[in-house]
């Protein structure tokens, strides 16, 4: 049959694995978020020089690893030897960068959901989406709980659509622009994820009227979370995994 698998994301989604409690975008962060009861995560993905998808937020390695310079200028064989935990805390020294493959194994073994944000190296938006779509299709073969792709860059989502037309896509929005809803529709998106400062009743209704889900990042305070939830928000990405119970 061709039944569409259910929408995979619950309301509460842990940002970069576990926000700031563990080194972002590492398996240690996913383990920490899961220990607080989180069943869904957001993470940032890009490609090594030799085309291996791995988790990193910044263009450069400097802030969150022992490496230096542009992340896309090194092969995975080099990147996989870096320390991506010591910058955060002594406790996490030796934690490696996570490949997409290692993250997939952990998520599938524990039946956890993922929002994969494409954070392409400069000039690699379409290629990053195309490779990620292919790799996710391979790694999640036969799985019902499937990743949701997101990006601020429409080109990256177009790349995903090319290699994995059936996977779910969401447009990220940081600054409003006139064409945002038309762009999301044209890309066949099933959700729009905005900066929480941009989300209000009118925007939420417009997203729902277009048949899409409405989510926000990154909310860390209770009043904002409650206000947006009361409006009918479908999902919220947070750093505060120790403050917001995902059972609520």
Name the residue nearer to Mg ion (CB basis): 44 or 153. Answer: 44
Name the residue nearer to Mg ion (CB basis): 95 or 117. Answer: 117
Shortest distance in whole angstroms from residue 238 CB to Mg ion: 12
* H/E element, 140: none
Kindly report the number of other CB atoms within 10 A of residue 238's CB atom.
Answer: 23
Which residues have a Cβ under 8 Å from the Cβ of 1 and sit 6 or more positions away? none
Q: Does 61 bind ligand G3P (CB under 6 A)?
A: no
Cβ–Cβ under 8 Å, residues 236 and 10? no
Q: Does 95 bind ligand G3P (CB under 6 A)?
A: no
Task: Give the separation between CA 170 and CA 187, rounded to whole angstroms.
Answer: 9
Q: Determine the interface stretch with Mg ion among 37-45, 86-94, 162-170, 205-213 (rule: CB under 5 A).
A: 37-45
Applying CB under 6 A, among 12, 36, 217, 244 the residue interacting with ligand G3P is: 217
Q: Is 92 a catalytic residue?
A: no
Span 100-119, contacts to Mg ion by CB under 5 A:
117
Q: Is 15 a catalytic residue?
A: yes
Residue number of the CB atom closest to ligand G3P = 217
- What are 45's strand-pairing partners? 55, 118
Cβ–Cβ under 8 Å, residues 85 and 95? yes
The three-class DSSP label of residue 170 is: strand
Q: Does 131 bind ligand G3P (CB under 6 A)?
A: no
Q: How far is CA 150 from CA 3, 72, 90, 112, 184, in A?
A: 22, 20, 32, 17, 11
Shortest distance in whole angstroms from residue 117 CB to Mg ion: 4
Shortest distance in whole angstroms from residue 70 CB to ligand G3P: 17
Name the residue nearer to Mg ion (CB basis): 126 or 217. Answer: 217
Helix 154-163 vs helix 125-139: crossing angle, to nearest 10: 40
Span 145-174, contacts to ligand G3P by CB under 6 A:
150, 172
Give the number of residues in contact with ligand G3P, rule: CB under 6 A: 11
DSSP string for residues in 213-225: EEEEE---SHHHH
Binding site for ligand G3P (CB under 6 A): 15, 42, 44, 57, 117, 150, 172, 193, 217-218, 237
> Which residues have a catalytic role annotated?
15, 57
Binding site for Mg ion (CB under 5 A): 44, 117
């Amino acid at each position: 049959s061709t039944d569409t698998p259910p929408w995979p994301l619950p309301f509460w989604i842990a940002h970069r694995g576990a926000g700031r409690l563990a080194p972002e975008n590492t398996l240690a962060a996913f383990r920490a978020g899961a220990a607080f009861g989180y069943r869904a995560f957001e993470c940032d993905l890009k490609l090594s020089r030799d085309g291996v998808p791995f988790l990193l937020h910044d263009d450069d390695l400097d802030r969150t690893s022992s490496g230096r310079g542009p992340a896309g200028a090194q092969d995975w064989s080099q990147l996989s030897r870096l320390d991506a935990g010591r910058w955060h805390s002594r406790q996490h020294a030796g934690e490696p960068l996570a490949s997409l493959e290692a993250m997939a194994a952990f998520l599938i073994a524990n039946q956890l959901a993922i929002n994969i944000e494409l954070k392409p190296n400069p000039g690699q938006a379409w290629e990053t989406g195309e490779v990620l779509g292919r790799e996710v299709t391979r790694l999640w073969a036969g799985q019902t709980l499937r990743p949701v792709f997101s990006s601020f860059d429409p080109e990256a989502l177009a790349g995903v659509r090319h290699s994995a037309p059936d996977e779910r896509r969401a447009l990220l929005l940081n600054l409003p622009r006139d064409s945002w809803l038309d762009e999301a529709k044209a890309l066949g998106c099933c959700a729009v994820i905005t900066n929480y400062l941009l989300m209000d009743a009118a925007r939420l209704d417009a997203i729902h009227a277009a048949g899409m889900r409405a989510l926000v990042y990154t909310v860390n305070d209770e009043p904002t979370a409650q206000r947006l939830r009361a409006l009918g928000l479908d999902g919220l990405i947070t750093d505060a995994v120790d403050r917001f119970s995902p059972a609520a």
